[in-house]
Chain A
Amino acid sequence: MNQKDLLQRGYRYAFSLTHNHHDAEDLVQDAWIRLCSKGEITHSKSLLFTTIRNRYIDQFRRNRLIVFEVLDQEYEFEDVEDSVEVTTGELDVALNSLRYEEREAVYLNYVEGYSAREISQLTQKSRNTVLSLLHRARQKLCKLLRHTDKERDLA
Chain B
Amino acid sequence: MTQLPSKIREYYQDQNLDEAVLQRIIERGQMVKESSAREPSGLRPTGVKIVGFMSITALLLVALQFMSNLPQPADITQRVLQEIHMNHEKALAVEFATDNFQVLSEKMDRLGFPISTSPHIYANYSLLGGRYCSIQGNIAAQLKIRHRDSGHIATLYITQKNHDLEQVRNQSQLLGQVQISLWNSPSMFYGLAQGSTSTQK
Contacts and interface: CB of A to CB of B under 8 A. Distances in A.
A84 B29 CA distance: 42
Given A22-B116, A63-B169, A110 B17 contact: no
B5 interface: yes
Nearest to B183: A63
A105 to B, nearest CB: 12
Interface in A96-136: 106-107, 110-111
Interface in A1-60: 3-4, 7-8, 11-12, 15-16, 21-30, 32-33, 35-39, 42, 55-56, 59-60
A26 B2 contact: no
Interface of B: 1-5, 7-9, 11-17, 21-22, 25-26, 28-30, 32-33, 36-37, 116-118, 169-170, 184-188
For the complex of A and B, 8 pairs with smallest distance between CB atoms:
A83-B1, A30-B187, A36-B29, A82-B4, A59-B186, A36-B32, A30-B186, A36-B33
A59 B9 CA distance: 27
Nearest to B185: A26
B8 A91 contact: yes
A71 interface: no
Contacts of B116: 22, 25
A39 B4 contact: no
Contact of B15 (A15, A29, A38, A110): A15
B32 to A, nearest CB: 4
B16 A26 contact: no
A4 B21 CA distance: 10
A136 to B, nearest CB: 14
Contacts of A22: 116-118, 185
B162 to A, nearest CB: 12
Chain A binding site: helix, strand, loop or mixed by DSSP?
helix
A16 B15 CA distance: 10
Among B12, B32, B184, the most chain A Cβ lie within 10 Å of the Cβ of: B12
Contacts of A145: 4
B26 to A, nearest CB: 5
B75 to A, nearest CB: 18
Contact of B33 (A4, A27, A39): A39
A107 B14 CA distance: 13
B8 A106 contact: yes
A11 B30 CA distance: 18
Contacts of A21: 15
Contacts of A55: 186
Contacts of B187: 26-27, 29-30, 33
Contacts of A142: 4
A36 to B, nearest CB: 4
A107 B12 contact: yes
B4 A83 contact: yes
Nearest to A35: B29
A111 B22 CA distance: 21
A39 B36 contact: yes
A106 B5 CA distance: 9
A92 B32 CA distance: 35
A91 B10 CA distance: 11
Among A26, A39, A55, A95, the most chain B Cβ lie within 10 Å of the Cβ of: A26
